[in-house]
Amino acid sequence: MSKQIYIYRSFERFWHWMQAILIFLLAATGFEIHGTITFFGYKNAVTYHNIAAYSFIVLIVFAIFWHFTTGEWRQYMPSRKNLRAQMDFYLLGIFRNAPHPTKKTVLSKLNPLQKIVYLGLKILVIPIIVISGLMYMFYRYPQGSSIEVLNIHSVEPFAIVHTIGAFLLIAFIVAHLYLITTGSTPTSNLKAMITGYEELEDEHDEKVTGAAALPLRKKTEPETLS
């Protein structure tokens, strides 16, 4: 029996949507800085990109604090259980209307493949983007400074790394936008991230059902001492 379960907390939803807005703003202004599109104007694009970048860093700090104080960081610990089944589901099963191999619960919101991808984003892709972006903004060009170690001849390596990280993040966003439509209905996952509630199997009912399925032991009279 399914039941509406409160699975996504207020800050989790706020963090998710603010992160999405900032990533889209960073992508749009980043493409304009590279000359791919024209919308804000180059000078404004640089300003907006920097503001969005600082806001993104602040959001990351709050998110890290929230994850560790609430214990939600455990959601991203990778597991090999059902990993192969999850990969098969995304490659083939999803197109055959096969049942989802992983059951979502409040304590386990991500399937094994999501855990690996999200963990990679959090400890690899996003740190690379943030660090390379800061280096790109603040590292000193040769300008006669007495601190020679801070002088470099080109920020091109930082720009290349930053761009690669940005494209990896955009690839994740594209896949994420598709996968949110693969819930019980095309909009169920989206609604869950808005309201916090998602229709899940009732764990209590499952425990009761499982207990009811067990054979009952025959009650015996206690032995009496003669």
CATH number, domain at 104?
A: 1.20.950.20
Question: Is residue 217 in a domain?
Answer: no
Number of structural domains the chain divides into: 1
222 falls within a domain: no
Task: Tell me if 225 is assigned to some domain.
Answer: no
Instruction: Tell me, yes or no, whether 23 lies in a domain.
Output: yes
Does the residue 166 lie in any domain?
Answer: yes
Q: Is the pTM of this model over 0.85?
A: no
The SS3 assignment for 201 reads strand
- 112 by Cβ neighbours in 10 Å (0-12 / 13-18 / 19+) ranks as buried
pLDDT tens digit string along 84-123?
999 999 888 888 888 888 888 888 899 999 999 999 999 9
Domain region containing 62: 2-204
Q: What is the pLDDT of residues 184-224, one digit of tens each?
A: 788 888 999 999 998 877 655 444 333 333 444 444 444 44
The token duo for 70 is: 């609430």
Domain contains 209: no
